Copies of this chain bind each other. A is one copy, B any other.
Amino acid sequence: MSARQTRAPRPRPHRSTPAFDLAAYLAHSTALVNRALDRFLPRAAAKPTTIHQAMRYSLFAGGKRLRPALCLAAAEACGGDCREALPLACAVECIHTYSLIHDDLPAMDNDDFRRGKPTNHKVFGEGIAVLAGDALLTQAFEIAAQCRGWPRHSHQAVVLELARASGSRQLVGGQVADLEAEGRRVAVPQLRYIHERKTSALLSCCTRLGGMSANCTARQLEALTAFGYHVGLAFQVIDDILDVTQTSEQLGKTAGKDTAAHKATYPALVGLERSRRIAAELTERAFAALRPFRGRAFALEALAQHLLGRDR
């Protein structure tokens, strides 16, 4: 995925983002990631077949592969080769998919649809859905273990990064806080706490791992952390907004679920307009974080622009 090959011929009227064909970039990175995931995952015919079918069902259910794209783009922003980042990008996608399968369970968010398709437990039953999540989480570490480590970032540092972003203080902790917030009055700091953990932690992990695979400097790693954090928070605020403003068909999942479940959301707490301003401000901060890359992070910029620009 050489950035040169995927640059669009015509400039776009967007802010500082240079001429860049994001659609082509995403199509290319998605194809790369899908091929790699297909290679890393056990075949659907491998025994016991049910678990491998269930893992593949959710992993290949049409996810937009934004997390892997962020990981690959971060590697490129640091002058790296995206092939080095590919296993890490796939590992993060496995973690993301496992978290969706478990979040959708009846004991959690009780969602019947995801990306326009029946959720894992609706197809395979609750027991297998729990196990498919477990297996994808474990698979993530098996895949990540296949990277080799780099002079500035050891194999150990890579595994720790993935484990910490996914663990009880971050990704899992966010879902716990989200479960506990349901039906209760929640203030903005608590909502931010949830979003930081449910979304920012893993997006930040994506960009950091990408940077690490390119043997990035401490300063680049810091910039990628701030970028991932702010994009993640903005992404989640926008997700809250979309739940209010879009139909189920547009979303590919049940719309208005957050409101129906009395879930705390930014629009519910601060209103739609202020939520939009917050999302815009967070994205500005994400762009600001990319300054040390002096224009070499155009894929990351375009991705952030894309994430903020979703139809609201």
A145 touching B156 by the CB < 8 A rule?
yes
User: What's the minimum C-beta distance from A189 to chain B, rounded to whole angstroms?
Assistant: 12
Question: Is A9 located at the chain interface by the 8 A CB criterion?
Answer: no
Enumerate chain B residues within 8 angstroms of A159, measured Cβ to Cβ. 141, 144-145, 155, 159
Question: Is A248 located at the chain interface by the 8 A CB criterion?
Answer: no
Interface centre among A48, A50, A160, A163 (most CB of B within 10 A): A48
A173 touching B137 by the CB < 8 A rule?
no
| A residues 127-183 touching B (CB-CB < 8 Å) | 127-131, 133-135, 137-139, 141-142, 144-146, 148-149, 154-156, 159-160, 162-164, 166-169, 172-173, 175-177, 179-180
Bound complex: CA of A127 vs CA of B139, how far in Å? 22
Question: Is A107 located at the chain interface by the 8 A CB criterion?
Answer: yes
Enumerate chain B residues within 8 angstroms of A46, measured Cβ to Cβ. 169
Question: Is A51 located at the chain interface by the 8 A CB criterion?
Answer: yes
Among candidates B48, B102, B139, B173, residue contacting A177 with C-beta atoms closer than 8 Å: B48
Enumerate chain B residues within 8 angstroms of A288, measured Cβ to Cβ. none
B102 touching A134 by the CB < 8 A rule?
yes
Residue of B nearest to A127 (CB): B107
Known: A137-B137, A148-B156. A42 touches B127 (CB 8 A): no
User: What's the minimum C-beta distance from A184 to chain B, rounded to whole angstroms?
Assistant: 13
Bound complex: CA of A48 vs CA of B198, how far in Å? 13
Among candidates B108, B148, B167, B176, residue contacting A139 with C-beta atoms closer than 8 Å: B167
Question: Is A126 located at the chain interface by the 8 A CB criterion?
Answer: yes
Known: A107-B127, A108-B130, A166-B138. A160 touches B176 (CB 8 A): no
Question: Is A55 located at the chain interface by the 8 A CB criterion?
Answer: yes
Bound complex: CA of A105 vs CA of B146, how far in Å? 32
Bound complex: CA of A127 vs CA of B105, how far in Å? 8
User: What's the minimum C-beta distance from A237 to chain B, rounded to whole angstroms?
Assistant: 21
Question: Is A47 located at the chain interface by the 8 A CB criterion?
Answer: yes
Question: Is A122 located at the chain interface by the 8 A CB criterion?
Answer: no
Q: Give 1 or 0 for each of A90-128: 1 = CB within 8 Å of chain B CB.
A: 000000001000100101100000000000000001111
Chain A residues within CB distance 8 Å of chain B: 42, 46-48, 50-52, 55, 98, 102, 105, 107-108, 125-131, 133-135, 137-139, 141-142, 144-146, 148-149, 154-156, 159-160, 162-164, 166-169, 172-173, 175-177, 179-180
New A-B pairs, 10, CB < 8 Å, besides A127-B179, A131-B175 = A48-B168, A48-B173, A51-B173, A128-B179, A133-B134, A137-B138, A138-B168, A142-B164, A148-B156, A155-B155
